[in-house]
A and B are shown apart, each in its own frame.
Chain A
Amino acid sequence: MTPRDGRINPGRYRDVGPKQLEGSQAVARAVARCRPEVIPAYPISPQTHIVEALSAMVKAGEVGSCEFVNVESEYAAMSVAIGASATGARTYTATASQGLLYMAEALYNASGLGLPIVMTLANRAIGAPINIWNDHSDSMSQRDSGWIQLYVESNQEAADTHVLAFRLAEELSLPVMVCMDGFVLTHAYERVDVPSSEQVERFLPAYEPRQVLDPDEPVSIGAMVGPEAFMEVKYLAHVQQMQALDLIPALTEELAGVLGRAQGGLVREYESAGAETIVVALGSVLGTIEDAVDELRARGVSVGAVGIKAFRPFPLQELRAALAGAKRIVVLEKALALGIGGIVAQNVRIAIAGSGAHVYTAIAGLGGRPITKASLCRLLDDAAAERLQAMTFLDLDRGLVERELERTRAKRRSGPHAENMLRDIGVVAAGPV
């Protein structure tokens, strides 16, 4: 249990069995039981509680021989991780939002070098305007960075998925990003059964690196590759990542055998068999979606949900199978690709190409905007009644946008948008003057 002051009690963390835990604490304990050897860490909300807890456990000697390195930036965090992983150490770090962007160059490098680093991403919006709350614009921005991306729905799934992530990363020699919704999961207290050290040991063997910097067998890593082989190296990286589509289900099943509960996988279906309308989403919002599906089905609406658990590699076949027979697919996404719209929807369209189903994009929950069951029910009712537009923004305050557009039309030097709109909200909320 975590005391009220937020510090963990190192003596108690070995306790096994379900406990009321903050999501960050659950992840930290699961990671600690995977015995990482190097943890470079840089603070950024909402990931910070994870590395705080790990720093305490490392200092208390509960993670074995592990170096916790307080670095000066996320760029350095990923760079330290690269050096450590290439030296054969099991390596973990965590970040969010701007931090992920700041390490972007090193992300591509880690995957390009084939280093099995595991990182938690506490999903958070990207500025400007600066915003610390949850959406998926950070991880979506790096979806093609060569990292495997797993999205979790609950804190139990977060804890279990980290154990799977280390095994997956090390078997494929590729980095894995476990994406968990910032605050919604990282700061939520719920009952979590953190995999015990014994369970982790049964599932996760000692790290045997594919490549290692070793004076006894010196190798050069990171040489310049020109046009004569660059395409082949990149193609190989693609082939390697695609292997995760076979490995993730196999490892999920194996881990379920060890833990006695099934989590993760590639996709998860909820009441989707035979449903006319299916919602597709990632992460914690699936819980609310399932509640909405229950309510609608009780009213006789034919709806279901499919959660994408592995977004990279993208499970085209599994998704196609899960969506087969649906007339309408509503992709609910927590990120907005400016200038085109949905990101997940583009991927889903590839999966269902030729099936004849209509794909709707619903952008929702940007910057932490709550996604309520009532709004979801309205959205799905509209979809079922074929009233939905191809692209919608859930609970968008159109009046606010229109007023700002009017200001920009009226005056050349209309000032900064975000601040104008905040002022506008204040004035409107205050009522007529």
Chain B
Amino acid sequence: MAARPIKFYQVGSFAVGNRLLGPELRSVQADPNRSNAITKGHRACQGCGEALGARYALDAAMRATDGRLIAANATGCLEVFSTPYPESSWQMPWLHSLFGNAPAVATGIAAALKAKGRTDVRVVGQGGDGGTVDIGLACLSGMFERNDDVLYVCYDNEAYMNTGVQRSGSTPPAARTMTTQAVGDEPGNVFGQGKSLPLIAMAHEIPYVATATVADLRDVEAKVERAMQLRGARYLHILVTCPLGWSCQASDSVKVARLAKETGLFPVFEAEHGAVSAVSKIRRRRGVEEYLRLQGRYRHLFEPQRREDVLARIQAIADRNIARFRLCDPDGFSRQDFPANAGLAREGAPREGA
């Protein structure tokens, strides 16, 4: 069933696993019999958003498939911290091949299952933003355009964290990384670069594209569940806080992710067959400064002197997202005149799931 966002105003957020809910509405994590696809004992950093996102995404996928799931994992933090030899955190069939080929490996798994008539077993591919938007993009695009029966999940922490925080194609403007240092006239990552993989995925007109953050884990679960109801290529892009790379408090991991959404810097939406079909509204709009202030990777915007010019440019990005995705529009939207859908191909029937 489609999950209903339930507001728990007493905690000021969309909280998880609340025991006030009926069992059928509770988080997968509230179930003592959940799969624990990625179990305790792994070596992720304190406050790691990727570990949190992967746990919720995979347990939801395991529930949706009744435990009939195989994962292909790209090289990266998730792979390294989950499988230090001779230990493995994976309580599911799991294959790590290379950095840039996880989508193609997932395709191969799906092809083998199809050849063997194993329609009961489903496939998840997963990686970080480097493995997805940069080095794995060709394999991912190929998997999308063939509409292979794979859910690919990108855990986006906006840089190459496993190698020590270097810029990726997903690093936001002005952010400091080890290769976009906070020095010079324009400190941090440059403006006007980077890419939105959800929009690139939509351009393939695949059955389902969605974004989410680790601040709303019920939303992650609902989107995984929705994705597993469909066949064909599906893409879920989860913003995952990296306290190490973002220089924020581990205890602020969820708060920072929530602010990414509530400022409009990270639009949370769903798209079907290339058109946006739903957006998560901003509940309490915040200025970008509140988000940036919590992260050392933006410290150079506030000291030694305040960079009003740069802050204004970042705010403009948030404002544009809010307008484009109607993130604050209380009246919802109609698909036809939804600004983000403008210019999308309209010809032909939407692609069916495989």
Chain B residues in 8 Å Cβ range of A83: 72, 95, 97, 104-112
8 Å CB contacts to B: which residues of A109-129?
A: 109, 113
Instruction: Check A82/B93 contact, CB under 8 A, given A76-B142, A224-B79, A224-B80.
Output: no
CB of B338 within 8 Å of the partner chain: no
Bound-complex Cα distance A213 to B111 (A): 13
The segment out of A43-51, A67-75, A303-311, A370-378 that lies at the interface is: A67-75
Least distance between A398 CB and chain B CB atoms (Å): 43
- Docked-complex contact B108 and A82, CB < 8 angstroms: yes
Contact partners of B7 in chain A: CB under 8 A: none
Given contacts A72-B141, A79-B97, A89-B116, contact A218 B105 (CB under 8 A): no
User: Given A79-B97, A215-B70, A224 and B85 touching (CB < 8 A)?
Assistant: yes
A218 nearest in chain B by CB position: B93
Measured CA separation A372–B142 after assembly (Å):
44
Flag whether B328 is at the interface (Cβ < 8 A).
no
- Bound together, the chains give a CA A66 to CA B115 distance in angstroms of 5
Q: A68-117: which residues lie under 8 A (CB-CB) from chain B?
A: 69-73, 75-76, 79-89, 91, 105-106, 109, 113
- Residue with the highest number of chain A CB atoms closer than 10 Å, among B85, B96, B100, B105: B105
Name B82-99 residues within 8 Å CB distance of A: 83-86, 88, 90-98
- Is A368 positioned at the interface, with any CB of B under 8 Å from its CB? no
Given contacts A105-B98, A106-B98, contact A89 B117 (CB under 8 A): no
Say yes or no: is B168 at the interface (Cβ < 8 Å to chain A). no
Task: Give A343 Cβ to nearest chain B Cβ, in Å.
Answer: 27
Which A residues are CB-close (under 8 A) to B3? none
B92, B100, B110, B121: the one contacting A75 at CB < 8 Å is: B100
**Is A221 an interface residue, CB under 8 A from the partner?**
yes
Rounded to whole angstroms, the CA-CA distance of A365 and B109 in the bound complex is: 40
Residues of B within 8 A of A91 (CB): 108, 112
Given contacts A66-B115, A69-B111, A89-B112, contact A221 B98 (CB under 8 A): no
Size band of the interface chain A makes with B: 35 or more
Rounded to whole Å, the gap between the CB of A36 and the closest CB of chain B is 9
Contact between B98 and A79, CB atoms less than 8 A apart: yes
A430 at the interface (CB under 8 A from B): no
For the complex, give the distance between the alpha carbons of A85 and B138 in Å. Answer: 21
* List of B residues within 8 angstroms of A239 by Cβ: none
A220 touches B111 (CB 8 A): no
Instruction: Name the one of B88, B105, B109, B113 contacting A220, with C-beta atoms under 8 angstroms.
Output: B88
Kindly report which residue of chain A lies nearest to residue B80, judged by CB atoms. A224
B86, B104, B114: the one within 8 Å of A76 (CB): B104
Task: Give A198-240 as 1s and 0s: 1 = Cβ < 8 Å from B's Cβ atoms.
Answer: 0000000000000001110011111111101100000000000
Given contacts A218-B90, A219-B93, A221-B94, contact A79 B108 (CB under 8 A): yes
CB neighbours (8 Å) of B106 from chain A are 83
B294-310 to A contact mask, C-beta < 8 Å, 1/0: 00000000000000000
User: Does the CB pair A80–B115 fall under 8 Å?
Assistant: no
B67 at interface by CB-CB < 8 Å? yes
* Extra A-B contacts (11), CB below 8 Å, given A65-B115, A72-B145: A67-B115, A71-B104, A71-B142, A82-B97, A84-B108, A84-B111, A85-B112, A88-B116, A214-B93, A220-B90, A223-B88
Which residues of B are interface residues toward A (Cβ below 8 A)? Answer: 67-70, 72-73, 79-80, 83-86, 88, 90-98, 100-101, 104-117, 121, 138-139, 141-142, 145-146, 148
A-B contact pairs, 21 of them (CB 8 A): A40-B108, A40-B111, A71-B104, A72-B145, A75-B104, A76-B104, A76-B138, A85-B108, A87-B112, A88-B112, A213-B95, A218-B90, A218-B93, A219-B93, A220-B83, A220-B95, A221-B96, A223-B85, A224-B79, A224-B80, A224-B84
